[in-house]
Amino acid sequence: MLDLRSSTPSAWLDVVFADFDAFIVDHALCERKASAMGLSLVAKYPDRTAILDPLIAFAREELEHFHVMYRIIEKRGLVLMGDEKDNYVNALRRLSRSGGDELFLDRLIVPGIVEARGCERLQMVAGAVTDPGLAGTYLDLARAESRHHGLFFRLARQYFPESVVQGRADELLEAEARIVEKLPFRAAVH
């Protein structure tokens, strides 16, 4: 189901496990930002009623994931940090077209791609982490990211023909692969 055009190299895991605590904190922030993004779309497009209930549910689930990660942070004696810029997400957002239906479509596809990349990377962490509890948590979260990826593409298809959604997704997925290739690895989900 994940239609990514590139795979995260296994060397990314070396960076993650070199500072796993930083990765955990970053992951929590990503979950919180995803929740806020879902509610932001609800606020920006109240007239697009087909997205409202699914995105409210998405925002609640992402907030729940943030809470799960916060509990892990607290248990490990870590400190939740303030938001930092996410160069990956910002690079994808800069590709969004301006105005009207084009922007609306891009605002659905871009998070779908972000969720797909998150799924891929959380699966990698789940397979590599040695703590069985954390492995299970990361596997559960990866499955949720996969569902969310599908959600955003399903929502896009409710408003746009399949050919339009797929054409734009192809463009953005190719660009996303180039972005991932150019950005340096860091102990972060994205």
Which pLDDT tens digit goes with each residue over 43-95? Answer: 999 999 999 999 999 999 999 999 999 999 999 999 998 888 889 999 999 99
Closest listed residue to residue 160, CA positions, set 111, 115, 100: 100
* CA–CA gap between residue 68 and residue 190 (Å, rounded): 19
pLDDT digits (tens, 9 = 90+) for 117-169: 999 999 999 999 999 999 999 999 999 999 999 999 999 999 999 999 999 99
Confidence (pTM): 0.95
Q: Are 33 and 86 in contact (CB under 8 A)?
A: yes
